[in-house]
Structure 1
Amino acid sequence: MTRQLRYGVIGCGRVFQTYHLLCLRNRPEFTVAAACDVDQARARSLFDGTGFDPYVTADLADFFRVGHLDAVSVCTPNDAHVEPVLAALDAGVAVLCEKPLAATPAGTGRLVDAAAGARLAAVNLPYRHHSLLPAFLGALLPGACDLTLTFTTAGQRLWRPATAWYADAARAGGGALLDLGPHAIDLLTTLFGPAQATGCRIERPGGVPGGVEESAEASLRVDRGPVRVLINRASRSLRLDLEARQGDRVVTLDLKRGEVHTGDGVVATARGTRPELAAIELFLDRVAGGDGAVAGFAEAAESQATIHELYALADRSPSLTR
């Protein structure tokens, strides 16, 4: 009988519960062998009824002493990514880190350097893998287009009780732009190549400089033309769509509905899927011996560099107001 692959998790909060654990429960070739979290009682209760019985500890060194691990997910708050990832890389363990890679550019740089030559080091950036991307590109006419990417969630209201650190600038490293921006920038660069930051405005609580923003409006340029990115994690609607306007023709990639449509109707669909899980599933495939593509640390760092350029531009621009 082939042995089960031993998986570990560092940080057993909402992100692990909602995404990583869901994928692992559907993969019989894996078992969760170890979990590291500051709240050990909560972490233990998380695995009730899952069929997993991991060793639970609050100590990172103890976590890596549990025995051989094949892979780990790092799902800690943003400012606590660096040390767990470095420990996993030092142990020769495949690692999947949540975005952003780190809360600061310096931390991101440390991880990129450490991951050079690693067996498998990936970041959870799922939308680059969406099956509708070729259909969207195929529906565009040759030449330039004006692009608008809209990403809105209700996370500020729904997730805050479980992730209070999102509002802590020191722990999160930023607000909505650093939270949702990696997905937006990664999607754009997957489709259109490098993106140049040209402008940004962010909404700060009460208009106070230095606060954690809940919305942002960014301007970029890609090879096909200008891009406007609208991000809001205090919205009452859930949207992730990219609109390309070429004269009177509009082509929309709607990842929430799972469709590509033009003024003439829907041209492609991918309904009934969970695109937000794609990067985790592909990482598990790789750990299990497959050859699926994953977003590496260097690629994630490029997107984060663009985001930090946008923050610098925002510091020189008026803030958004509600």
Structure 2
Amino acid sequence: MDHPSPLRLLLVGCGQIARVHLGQLTQNPQWSLSAVVDPDPRHRQALIANHPHSPGDFDSLAQALPALSVDAALICTPTHLHFEQVMQLWDAGIPVLCEKPLVDTRERLVDILAQVPRRPPLMIAYQRRQSAVFREARELVRTGRLGQLKSISLVNTEHWAQTIAGTWRDDPRQNPGGFPGDAGSHKLDMLFFLTGLRPERVLSRCQTLDWNVPVSTQAIIEFEEAVVGNLSFTGNAHQYYEEFRLHGTDADLVIRPTELLLARANRMEPVSIPGTDSNPTEAFADFLRGKTSNPAPPQVALDVRDLTDAILASAAKGCTIEM
């Protein structure tokens, strides 16, 4: 059986998240890393030093694009750079996989969405959409196994703030959403992915503590169909923890990154997870080859953007925000 040639990838940005993606890319025969782009040569060399195929390295997209022929690009740069980089790659006719958040303002997001129908494919790297646990949880919720959904709770703690001093993540001009807008973006996306519900009202409190951006955030969200959500984000914790709890008239569902539990009549039982986990780069390759639809199209970013903005606005104004 013939195997298709690997897709040639341009990796834009050589920081921490790029290293995560590169580890996945090197295990996936669907991809071949053609080149990396980063303004800091030390970052470029550190990323590709042990790569078996000696990819090219460039300090800018303007330098790289005329010299390369690639099938796709992966953007792993700070959020405020995403918009211009997506536009440069689109103008070159290159499909894009972009790290979250997609862009830094709603206006730029609306601009991107208006161009989507006539531009190359664009996917967001929301990795929980490739999680077998979250896919099965969505199936249980959407097929009515919980009965009528009544409430949602989310607890997310992370050793995040302690790592951001002197970086773009601690700059309110570049990362106004702080912890919930950056690392928490994946979890906000899961609220929509799991339930399909629209938020109607938001009341929140954000604290910057010893940093310049929101680190601790608590929010109460009233969704349509009278479903209430309680969200807790703690970005200066000493360990990572993440748990969703969805409460329905017939059952409760507890979702952790590697575990799914169904509760009835005060008894909790593990749920068997069919299938296996994927990751954004594998899903993007499958999408480009026509094997699947886009699992994280740019349209989903608008829901996350609007909810993030409402959480920040409620905290700033000290009142409930109508969505």
User: Is TM-score (shorter-chain normalized) higher than 0.5?
Assistant: yes
8 Å CA contact retained: 1:121, 1:297: yes
> Which of the residues 148, 167, 170 maps onto 1:164?
167
Q: CA RMSD in A?
A: 2.6
State the 1:140 CA deviation. Answer: 4.6
> Which of the residues 265, 268, 272 maps onto 1:265?
268
Q: Distance in 1 between the 2:254 and 2:115 partners? A: 36
Residue in structure 1 matched with residue 44 of structure 2 by the alignment: 43
Structure 1: unaligned runs, 5 residues or longer: none
Q: Distance in 2 between the 1:271 and 1:24 partners? A: 24
8 Å CA contact retained: 1:258, 1:271: no
State the 1:141 CA deviation. Answer: 3.5
Q: TM-score, normalised on structure 2?
A: 0.86
8 Å CA contact retained: 2:7, 2:71: yes
Q: Residue 101 of structure 2: SS of its match in structure 1?
A: coil
> Which of the residues 186, 190, 203 maps onto 1:187?
190
Identity percentage of aligned residues:
21
8 Å CA contact retained: 2:201, 2:223: no
State the 1:251 CA deviation. Answer: 2.1
- One-letter amino acid of the counterpart of residue 143, structure 1: Q
1:128 aligns with 2:129: yes
Q: Distance in 1 between the 2:115 and 2:54 partners? A: 31
Residue in structure 2 matched with residue 57 of structure 1 by the alignment: 58
Give the 3 Å change call, closer, same or farther, for CA 270–66 of structure 1 in structure 2: farther
8 Å CA contact retained: 1:282, 1:292: no
State the 1:121 CA deviation. Answer: 0.3
Q: Residue 284 of structure 2: SS of its match in structure 1?
A: helix
Give the 3 Å change call, closer, same or farther, for CA 45–184 of structure 1 in structure 2: closer
8 Å CA contact retained: 1:180, 1:231: no
Residue in structure 2 matched with residue 202 of structure 1 by the alignment: 206
8 Å CA contact retained: 2:147, 2:251: no
Aligned residues: 309
Q: Distance in 2 between the 1:51 and 1:24 partners? A: 12
Q: Distance in 2 between the 1:17 and 1:100 partners? A: 18
Q: Distance in 1 between the 2:116 and 2:139 partners? A: 33
- Which of structure 1's runs of 4+ aligned residues deviate more than 4 A? 269-274
8 Å CA contact retained: 1:103, 1:174: no
Alignment of 1:1-322 (within 5 A): 2-18=4-20, 20-129=21-130, 130-134=134-138, 136-137=140-141, 140-157=145-162, 159-160=163-164, 164-193=167-196, 194-206=198-210, 211-224=212-225, 225-246=227-248, 251-262=252-263, 263-270=266-273, 278-317=279-318
Q: Residue 189 of structure 1: SS of its match in structure 2?
A: helix
Q: Distance in 1 between the 2:275 and 2:121 partners? A: 30
Q: Residue 232 of structure 2: SS of its match in structure 1?
A: strand
Q: Distance in 1 between the 2:261 and 2:118 partners? A: 38
- One-letter amino acid of the counterpart of residue 200, structure 2: Q
Give the 3 Å change call, closer, same or farther, for CA 83–135 of structure 1 in structure 2: closer
